[in-house]
Amino acid sequence: MRKFLLNALLVCLVAVGLAQTLVIKGSNTIFPVAQLWIEEFKKLRPEVKITLEGAGSSTGIAALFNRTTDIANSSRWLKKEEIQKMNQEGKYFIPFLVAFDGIAVIVNKSLPIDEISIETLKKIYTGEITYWSQVNPNLPRQQIVVYSRNTASGTYEVFETKVLKGARMAPRVRMVESSQVEIESVAKNPYAIAYTGVGYVTDSVKVLKVDGVYPTKENILRGRYPLARPLFMFVDGTNGFPEPGSLIYDFIMFAFSKRGQELVEKAGYIAAYGQ
């Protein structure tokens, strides 16, 4: 009996020793498809333990700098200061384009509006326009309830670049930590507006045309939609490209695979390859 227990213990120790872990942090936008990738990947590699956090693109990039993540999901390109920091620290982060996305502008389904311009969006988010009747005299004279992702979000940073263009967001804008909170808030408030990745949009809200264009797959891929963007995974390549057969390499290759790109589409985003 003692021998049996000893053998069982050795087997457990070997299994623990062979177990591999992968840490993924970053973009809230990429979170839904990353969840799908992990579920499928673990069917192929059941011994692997993977943790996933979606606190924002900046959080993921910061974790890559301090070596607390293996992969940083990001819904934006690297900032100038992040590139400068890489140079200062002698680091190099490798970008992997994994999907395309559009930032959808959403309102409550009851609001009688179907489109909005970039210029009007800018005026709403900077506080120059505060009532719906200022957008269109046929709309209610009701104060616009404005929602935005927080500043750690890549979605916020892309919106800031493409819409605000250097202008400051008004203090009255309600900053929230997740796209899900935005969706739920707009669905409940008839005078709300927000922006979110198209993959998060549900039937509970209305998507507006922006400058006359809907964020459809074709419009995003052809560059017609003004708030389109690529989605990335970054890894630390300071010591070279991930080795074939390593867990990081295998996970990225799975994301690039036919099945991985099918899951991109399943999550509501646009495949970067093979679709």
pLDDT digits (tens, 9 = 90+) for 43-92: 999 999 999 998 899 999 999 999 999 999 999 999 999 999 999 999 99
Please state, rounded to an integer, the average pLDDT across all residues of the chain: 91
Query: In this predicted model, which residue has the larger pLDDT, 4 or 152?
Result: 152
164 and 214 share one domain: yes
Give the Cα separation of 251 and 157 in Å (integer).
Answer: 27
Quick one: what percent of the chain has pLDDT higher than 70? Answer: 92
222 and 106 share one domain: yes
Distance of alpha carbon 185 from its chain centroid, rounded? 19
| Host domain of residue 192 | 101-228
50 and 18 share one domain: yes
Query: Average of pLDDT values for 217-243?
Result: 94
168 and 208 share one domain: yes
22 and 105 share one domain: no
16 and 26 share one domain: yes
Give the Cα separation of 76 and 7 in Å (integer).
Answer: 51
- Which helix H or strand E contains 193, and what residues bound it? strand 192-197
Query: In this predicted model, which residue has the larger pLDDT, 16 or 139?
Result: 139
106 and 214 share one domain: yes
Phi-psi region of 265 (alpha: psi -120 to 50; beta: other; left: phi over 0): alpha
Number of domains in the chain: 2
pTM over 0.75: yes
Give the Cα separation of 196 and 180 in Å (integer).
Answer: 9
CATH number at residue 144: 3.40.190.10
94 and 164 share one domain: no
Q: Which of these, 168, 150, 195, 176, lies nearest to 57 by C-alpha position?
A: 150
Residue 238 backbone phi and psi in degrees, to 5: -55, -40
235 and 194 share one domain: no
Q: How confident is the model at residue 10 (pLDDT cuts 50, 70, 90)?
A: very low
pLDDT digits (tens, 9 = 90+) for 83-138: 999 999 999 999 999 999 999 999 999 999 999 999 999 999 999 999 999 999 99
112 and 202 share one domain: yes
**Polymer length in residues for the chain:** 275
